[in-house]
Amino acid sequence: MEKRQLGRSGLRVSRMALGTMTWGSDTDADEAASQLVAFVDAGGTLVDTADVYGDGEGERILGSLLADVVPRDDVVLATKAVARRSDGPFGGGASRGALLSALDGSLRRLGVDHVDLWQLHAWDGNVPLEETLSALDFAVNAGKVRYVGVSNYSGWQLATVAGGRGTNPIVSAEMEYSLVQRGVEREVLPAARYHGIGLLPWAPLGRGVLTGKYRNGTPADSRGASPAYAGYVEKHRTDRAARIVQAVLTAADGLGTSPLCVALAWVRDRPGVVAPVVGARDTGQLTGSLATEEISLPPAIKSALDDVSAVELGYPERWPG
Q: Domains in the chain, start-ordered, CATH in brackets?
A: 3-309 (3.20.20.100)
Q: What whole-number distance in Å separates Cα of residue 77 and Cα of residue 256?
A: 34
Give the mean model confidence (pLDDT) for residues 75-93: 76
Q: What whole-number distance in Å separates Cα of residue 201 and Cα of residue 204?
A: 6
DSSP 3-state of 318: coil
Which pLDDT belongs to residue 269? 98
Which pLDDT belongs to residue 309? 98
Give the mean model confidence (pLDDT) for residues 174-199: 97
Which of 53, 147, 177, 214 does the annotation list as catalytic?
53
Which pLDDT belongs to residue 234? 83
Query: Is 229 annotated in the active site?
Result: no
CA distances for 288 relative to 6, 37, 295, angstroms: 24, 15, 12
Which pLDDT belongs to residue 199? 98
Which pLDDT belongs to residue 292? 98
Which pLDDT belongs to residue 89? 63
Mean pLDDT of all residues belonging to the chain: 92
- Four-residue CA torsion sign, 238, 291, 39, 73: negative
Instruction: For residue 130, name the pLDDT band (cuts at 50, 70, 90).
Output: very high
Please, which residues have CB within 8 angstroms of residue 105's CB and are 6 or more apart in sequence? 51, 56
Which pLDDT belongs to residue 203? 97
Instruction: For residue 67, name the pLDDT band (cuts at 50, 70, 90).
Output: confident
